[in-house]
Chain A
């Protein structure tokens, strides 16, 4: 559509001269685009900031680990039908550990809230988890100090515990916790290790826990709910195989008939990612509609003004044609002018939208990233509107007859 690149700069000069001579009109015309782009960029920036945060947080949950549980993480449809399910049991853990060939690591986990004490320090409502030595690999924790649970600790039901970073810091101000005895609930446990700090996920500390051997937990703790079994495969490409295998073993254990549905959930990080994407996808659709409507209205405004402008400048068009402008020269000139009007609104919209998004994100205590895609989206939308809105008036101008337009008063 546009001719030689060297002329592109000229068209912008022409557009600038034309817009400068009607400052107020140009400003008002671009307002619709400005509002549309501001809306889109504000929400776009917000979602992007949230994305970065949420996807980052979700990646803390290992992508090569699945969790066998009673409840699915994302409940679709009837909530009540999950209520009557059986809890996941230790027997099922044993079956999975015994028959699974693809899983590289498997750990059970049961939990209860207990008060933890050391000397005068009291720390209430701490999640206490009963698990095995493989929990280190399935749930991605590593000892920062001391050691993790061993097979022997688990086999012998030793009265030992591994502390999460936050628990250790709260109970032991200056001293090293290793070898000390802490009271968990009503019993005393020897601290064998402290795990590396994991930070927060969605504002929740990941370091507030006490790990004890599964058997020890079972003997002394009560009031716990069902079990969660974590299974990890080192080779991510085998993840689906592992899930199939788990289903097979679980269905066999629970004697589920072929026509019946699973009555357990195999949870995985990507379910949450997917849920999040679905939610933001809907949001995106909504902004595209809202932003789209305001851009459409803005675009119609530009078309209208461009039609006026083409009529007013009939003589100019005649002069240009008389001295050798071809149709495509005139077409390009007016389309570029229309793009220029739209882009002024677009650029201001990008800046305002970016600040708008930053303000929303800072209310949520999230960071705003400067991203090229935001700028591209803003420019893309406004240029598109510019071309679409300017095409008809520009085409009208281009096909004007030189003589008639020259004699236009």
Chain B
């Protein structure tokens, strides 16, 4: 089992008010699954994904990633895991505006301490893979939305992480461009990676093998499509 969460809870503290975002989720995800998380706004999808991505820690419950309990790790240990095992794709791309495509894609490799030449080689390969071999030195504001998202995917892929997490990756794109992006995800999945994707669109969720629906911080349904 790649991912195993048990009785996972996350409660935000807003002054005196407690906001329960995730209220007890049990879920396991196997290697090379392609999972879509759906559910209404505020149902806790992003919160769950951030915990799975080691960006955040649960208030309660356990999280075993790759047979390691990561729910009690400190900041730097989590950073290490994000760097090596997880690639994020965000709705708003989250690229560094001043850096060109190549540098953006190199970033995770810089933090893994790879030598410059090796980094460049790997980043170029990743950009080629998403079809941006001829846009390496464009800055984000010199790229279209779809191209930006492809840079972000290249960045998520470059370290060859086990898990790709995508939070509404097509949310800011028109449906044609969204389809293009989804094709790239299919290729990545075919390459052996595990993909977890949040979406509001059924047609996007159709690309996945399994759909988990959340409601009010709990799993409402979990269906395998095969």
Cβ–Cβ contact A327 & B76, under 8 A: yes
CB within 8 A of B82: which of A10, A18, A323?
Answer: A323
**CB proximity to A under 8 Å, residues B94-108:** 94-96, 98-99, 107-108
Known: A21-B98, A406-B55. A324 touches B112 (CB 8 A): yes
**CB proximity to B under 8 Å, residues A15-63:** 17-18, 21
Distance of A402 Cα from B50 Cα, bound (Å): 10
**CB proximity to B under 8 Å, residues A292-326:** 315-316, 318-326
Name the CB-closest residue of B to A323: B108
B residues apposed to A, CB below 8 Å: 50, 53, 55-56, 75-76, 79-80, 82-84, 88, 90, 94-96, 98-99, 107-108, 110-113, 115-116, 155, 159
Beyond A323-B88, A406-B90, 20 additional pairs, beta carbon < 8 A:
A6-B113, A10-B110, A17-B98, A21-B98, A320-B111, A322-B94, A323-B107, A323-B111, A324-B80, A324-B84, A324-B108, A324-B112, A324-B159, A325-B111, A326-B75, A326-B80, A326-B111, A327-B76, A403-B50, A406-B94
Q: Would you give the 0/1 interface string for A245-271, flagging 1 where the beta carbon is closer than 8 Å to chain B?
A: 000000000000000000000000000
Distance of A7 Cα from B113 Cα, bound (Å): 7
Residues of chain B with a CB closer than 8 A to A7's CB: 110, 113
Cβ–Cβ contact A403 & B110, under 8 A: no
Secondary structure of the A side of the interface?
Answer: helix
Question: B21 → chain A, closest Cβ, in Å?
Answer: 12
Distance of A9 Cα from B113 Cα, bound (Å): 12
Name the CB-closest residue of A to B78: A402
Residues of chain A with a CB closer than 8 A to B113's CB: 4, 6-7
Q: Decide yes or no whether A208 CB sits under 8 A from chain B.
A: no
CB within 8 A of A322: which of B55, B80, B115?
Answer: B55
Cβ–Cβ contact A324 & B111, under 8 A: yes
Q: Decide yes or no whether A329 CB sits under 8 A from chain B.
A: yes
Cβ–Cβ contact B107 & A320, under 8 A: yes
Q: Would you give the 0/1 interface string for A380-409, flagging 1 where the beta carbon is closer than 8 Å to chain B?
A: 000000000000000000010011001000
Distance of A4 Cα from B115 Cα, bound (Å): 11
Question: B195 → chain A, closest Cβ, in Å?
Answer: 17
Residues of chain B with a CB closer than 8 A to A9's CB: 116
A residues apposed to B, CB below 8 Å: 4, 6-7, 9-10, 17-18, 21, 315-316, 318-329, 399, 402-403, 406
Residues of chain B with a CB closer than 8 A to A406's CB: 55, 90, 94
Residues of chain B with a CB closer than 8 A to A21's CB: 98
Distance of A323 Cα from B75 Cα, bound (Å): 13
Name the CB-closest residue of A to B76: A326
Cβ–Cβ contact B98 & A322, under 8 A: no
CB within 8 A of A327: which of B75, B99, B112?
Answer: B75
Cross-chain pairs A/B with CB under 8 angstroms, 8 sampled:
A10-B110, A21-B98, A322-B53, A322-B82, A324-B108, A325-B111, A326-B75, A402-B79
Residues of chain B with a CB closer than 8 A to A403's CB: 50, 55-56
Of B75, B90, B98, B110, most buried by chain A (CB within 10 Å of CB) is B110
Distance of A319 Cα from B112 Cα, bound (Å): 15
CB within 8 A of A315: which of B83, B94, B107, B116?
Answer: B94
Residues of chain A with a CB closer than 8 A to B75's CB: 326-327, 399
Distance of A323 Cα from B13 Cα, bound (Å): 26
Cβ–Cβ contact A319 & B79, under 8 A: no
Residues of chain B with a CB closer than 8 A to A329's CB: 111
Known: A6-B115, A402-B55. A321 touches B79 (CB 8 A): yes
Question: A404 → chain B, closest Cβ, in Å?
Answer: 10
Cβ–Cβ contact A322 & B111, under 8 A: no
Residues of chain A with a CB closer than 8 A to B159's CB: 324
Cβ–Cβ contact B82 & A324, under 8 A: yes
Distance of A18 Cα from B155 Cα, bound (Å): 21
CB within 8 A of B79: which of A6, A316, A324?
Answer: A324
Distance of A196 Cα from B84 Cα, bound (Å): 79
CB within 8 A of A316: which of B83, B90, B96, B110?
Answer: B96
Distance of A325 Cα from B110 Cα, bound (Å): 9
Known: A323-B83, A326-B80. A17 touches B55 (CB 8 A): no
Question: A321 → chain B, closest Cβ, in Å?
Answer: 6
Residues of chain B with a CB closer than 8 A to A17's CB: 98-99
Cβ–Cβ contact A324 & B83, under 8 A: yes
Cβ–Cβ contact A319 & B96, under 8 A: yes
Question: B90 → chain A, closest Cβ, in Å?
Answer: 8
Question: B164 → chain A, closest Cβ, in Å?
Answer: 13
Give me the 10 closest cross-chain CB pairs, A-B, nearest first. Answer: A324-B83, A324-B111, A326-B76, A323-B108, A326-B79, A319-B94, A324-B82, A17-B98, A403-B56, A402-B55
